[in-house]
Amino acid sequence: MIERNVDTERQGEAVAAAVKIFAEHGGFVRNVIRLQVRDVSRREDVFQELFLRIVDQPVPPDVRNVRGYLYRAILRDVVDLAREQENTSRHLKKYARNNRISIYKSPSQNAIVEEMEDEHSVFARLTRQLRRREREAVTLRYRDNCSIAEIADRMGIGRRSASRYLTSALRHIRRNLAIE
């Protein structure tokens, strides 16, 4: 029990340190992200990933230029995002080529319905083992394309809680996928 309290205290301190950094440099961070990330829908994701990274790996105390540190961290996230999008595009093209699907012609209505049914069953399988609130947050985020703010509003909770539910759910899903 004592170990858990120590971990909780450390985690609380890490979150407080990250909140302090983002309170002081949040405008700078948002401007850099706005300039570096062209896809508007991905900007908030990059911001949240950076925040979670700062919570997980706080800025070292010997760093004199915090803005420079944050700038490099943002560029790393942007490069990772670009690689992820490139990999996704490559996989989609390979999938289309292997299944003789044209990515330039619109698919038939039956193909769309079948694809949606497949995606729904995979999504249901992945979220089946999550707790109710985690499942609700993941569903709103990835099936209904809601932002963190919209998830928080719909669930009647704060943004931080919504973000924590998502983070926890994704951790469980990744762990389950690694086991399979």
Q: How confident is the model at residue 160 (pLDDT cuts 50, 70, 90)?
A: very high
36, 78 Cβ separation under 8 angstroms: yes
66, 25 Cβ separation under 8 angstroms: yes
Interval 103-132 mean pLDDT: 66
CA-to-CA distance for 36 and 23, rounded, in angstroms?
21
Q: Which CATH class is domain 107-180?
A: mainly alpha
Fold: same for 1-105 and 107-180: no
Which CATH number is correct for 1-105, 1.10.10, 1.10.1740, 1.10.3470, 1.20.1260?
1.10.1740
Q: Where are the domains of the chain?
A: 1-105, 107-180
29, 22 Cβ separation under 8 angstroms: yes
CA-to-CA distance for 79 and 84, rounded, in angstroms?
9
pTM (2 d.p.): 0.47
- Per the prediction, the chain carries an average pLDDT of 80
